[in-house]
Amino acid sequence: MKKVGVSILGLGVVGGGTYRILESHREFFRATQNIDVTVECVLEPNAEKTGALGVPAEKVASNIAEIVANPDVNIIVETIGGVGVAREYVLAALNAGKTVVTSNKELYCKFSHELEHTAKRQNAGLFFEATCVGGVPIVRTLLDGLQANKISSFMGIINGTTNFILTEMAKGTSYADALAEAKKLGYTEADPSADVDGLDASYKLSILSSLAFHTKVPLSKVFREGISSVSVEDIRHGAELGYVLKLLAVGKQTEEGIEVRVHPAFLRKEHPLAAVNGCFNAVYLKGDAAGDMMMYGRGAGDLPTASAIVSDIIYAATHSEYRYSTFKNTEKEEKGVTFIDDFSSAYYVRLSVEDRSGMLAKIGSVLGKAGISINEVVQCGADEENRATVVLVTHETHEYAIRNAVSKLEASIAKVKSVLRVAL
């Protein structure tokens, strides 16, 4: 039976979950995978964390050099996070010929070219299933399950924190209260900006779109907009029109080029992604051979993410040859690859206008001159300032066209309260 020695760098939420699975499932892996996986050592300076997990003192390493020099360590798991020490440690491991498994989406998104180059040079494995969508095996699906397909598009709910917040707001909870509850439940860090500003989802979208479209999609090419300006009022108006609001990550490959964007968007209630609530995640894919499909599961947490890490450990231990990117993995996009920033969408627009006759006609005129047609429109009653709320949903148009029209509306007719995209 093959013996596999593992070292875990960092015993936080995910690292701790990885340790627990490896310790509790050792006999299960022996019986089902014919491998004996042992945790040879960990790197964790916090004695409370190692003590809580019952890590023997002799298995707590003092530095990364000690770990990479250990001949019994075959696979090193990085769950530290960030791009400082984590990058240094991962490069040290790869340079020593050790296979690396990481859950660090920021590190992999920004430096996969450097890590992969080092791994290739040293004939080491580099695995990153846990960087995207928690316990949902989306990376393995793209690499090993959908090779027969040209993926034309995908969109997903790939950040559990924002999905939880928007789910609570749909119940009438304010953004501030929903965010506070997410913090209380441990769904977000003390500084939630990476989640609510869409950065976490952008890291993941960069990784997934590179895999799906077989070309490097740098983070700099991802359009990003977070959820901090979303209001309960907009969610309510959207629900009345038959929509659900989600933070979507969208990737498309067309003859014109690639578009990648993260932003709040309304979905029709009938769409499969509309039913994905709480901290759950899902990715909806379109392949030319397989057609439409959706993968769904928990997008965060100790054991779901640790499940992805352990899956990579077992895959690495049971495969003698390592595979790398199907594209030229460089820091920037390849020459000749076009990225689209003037993407097309339908749009939800909420306006505040004077409550007098002819206003809807004026709004329609401005939009019409911009080449934008209205699909749905609702006018609500006047407030104490004799201003009415107008909510409209456009037919498909372009991003630059709606921005231009909104600026003209604000200059002459209405106060634009919000503009949100509607997924097609």
DSSP per-residue string spanning 36-105:
EEEEEEEE---HHHHHHHT--GGGB-SSHHHHHT-TT--EEEE---SSSHHHHHHHHHHHTT-EEEE--H
Query: Is the pLDDT at 268 greater than 90, yes or no?
Result: yes
pLDDT tens for 280-317 read 999 999 999 999 999 999 987 789 999 999 999 999 99
Same-domain check for residues 122 and 184: no
Same-domain check for residues 241 and 120: no
Last residue of a domain, one of 134, 161, 190: 134
Q: Report residue 384's pLDDT band, with 50, 70 and 90 as the boundaries.
A: low
Instruction: Evaluate whether residue 323 is within a structural domain.
Output: no
Instruction: Evaluate whether residue 329 is within a structural domain.
Output: no
Same-domain check for residues 142 and 130: no
Listed range (271-280, 331-340, 378-387, 397-406) with the worst mean pLDDT: 378-387
pLDDT at 412: 85
Clarify whether 184 is annotated catalytic.
Answer: no
Last residue of a domain, one of 103, 134, 165: 134
Last residue of a domain, one of 134, 164, 197: 134
Residue 35 is part of which domain span?
2-134
Total count of domains within the chain: 3
Taking residues 148-173, report their average pLDDT: 97
The active-site residue out of 110, 204, 221, 252 is 204
pLDDT tens for 188-225 read 877 899 999 999 999 999 999 999 999 999 999 999 99
Q: Report residue 185's pLDDT band, with 50, 70 and 90 as the boundaries.
A: confident
Q: Please give the angle made by the CA atoms of 338, 339 and 344, to the nearest 5 degrees.
A: 125
Q: Report residue 29's pLDDT band, with 50, 70 and 90 as the boundaries.
A: very high
pLDDT at 262: 98
Query: Is the pLDDT at 136 greater than 80, yes or no?
Result: yes
Taking residues 343-352, report their average pLDDT: 96
pLDDT at 191: 87
Q: Quick one: what percent of the chain has pLDDT higher than 90? A: 91
Cα(97)–Cα(85) distance, integer angstroms: 19
